[in-house]
Amino acid sequence: MITIRNLTKSYKKGPNLITPLEDLTLDVPRGEFLALMGPSGSGKTTLLNLIAGIDSPTSGELIIDGNDIARHSRAQLTKWRSSHVGYIFQLYHLIPILSAYENIELPLLITKLSRAERRTRVEAALDLVGLTDRQHHRPTELSGGQEQRVAIARAIVHDPHLLVADEPTGDLDGESATSILDLLRSLSTDHGKTIIMVTHDPKAAANATRTLHLEKGKLIESGKLEPGARNS
């Protein structure tokens, strides 16, 4: 699904040229659950944002489903992202005055879907994340794990093929984190979503089908987990 060739991202900071990613090559097959690990400043989030179409590379190819999004304008990236990518944040980014249902519906408000079609999609997303009985609750009335489930439902409500997650369990307790990782794994194995997750936690990474390690903008190691090696 994702083909990356010689991808480089650089920007100027004062008189200095900063290169968080340099000449990176990577393939991600459809349906894979990939974990990205590495120290702070290694380029993990930069790579995630490039893949999600939030930022553009300086050079190289970034082909997703046959589209070289490295060549897209910002307007083209925005349109492409709204149809193809769901982004899951560490701190949820829910709107406090809206209910869970309304937060999940937000990405659909800019589409041409009717109210009935939006309702069908939101209800399906709520059911998938197990929050049908909490749909009228506001974020302050939910636990951290439930807030993250709302955020995941919002990310999948437009049925994207690709989900990117930036430390999705970093703000959760152990039980909630396990529940969220189980949900992400199910979205990959049962629903065919391609998931790329940035994490500092080896236990979280163990839920992925493959782990890649970045250091100073370069891929230094990759590994496939043996069957049964995932943590419960």
In this predicted model, what pLDDT tens digit does every residue of 6-16 receive, in sequence order?
999 998 888 98
Q: What percent of the chain has pLDDT over 70?
A: 95
pLDDT tens-place string over residues 68-79: 998 898 888 888
Tally of CB atoms within 10 A around 96? 8
Task: Say whether pLDDT at 104 is over 70.
Answer: yes
Q: How confident is the model at residue 91 (pLDDT cuts 50, 70, 90)?
A: confident
Full strand arrangement of the beta sheet holding 16-28: 16-28, 2-13, 59-64, 67-68
Q: What contacts 166, CB < 8 A, 6 or more positions away?
A: 45, 48, 87, 88, 89, 90, 197, 198
Radius of gyration of the chain (CA): 18
| pLDDT for the residue 223 | 55
Task: Say whether pLDDT at 110 is over 90.
Answer: no
Residues 27-41, mean pLDDT to the nearest whole number: 92
Distances (CA, A) of 126 to 30, 69, 119, 132, 146: 24, 31, 10, 5, 11
Residues 114-124, mean pLDDT to the nearest whole number: 96
pLDDT tens-place string over residues 45-60: 999 999 999 999 999 9
Task: Say whether pLDDT at 128 is over 70.
Answer: yes
Domain residue extents for the chain: 30-57+73-224
pLDDT tens-place string over residues 175-209: 999 999 999 999 999 999 999 999 999 999 999 99
Task: Say whether pLDDT at 96 is over 80.
Answer: yes
Residues 59-70, mean pLDDT to the nearest whole number: 92
| pLDDT for the residue 228 | 41
Q: Which CATH superfamily is domain 30-57+73-224 in?
A: P-loop containing nucleotide triphosphate hydrolases (3.40.50.300)
Residues 139-161, mean pLDDT to the nearest whole number: 95
Q: How confident is the model at residue 222 (pLDDT cuts 50, 70, 90)?
A: low
**Of 75, 46, 39, 79, nearest in space to 60 by CA:** 46
Task: Say whether pLDDT at 225 is over 60.
Answer: no
Q: How confident is the model at residue 221 (pLDDT cuts 50, 70, 90)?
A: low
Torsion over CA of 172, 174, 177 and 181, rounded to 10 degrees? 160
| pLDDT for the residue 229 | 43
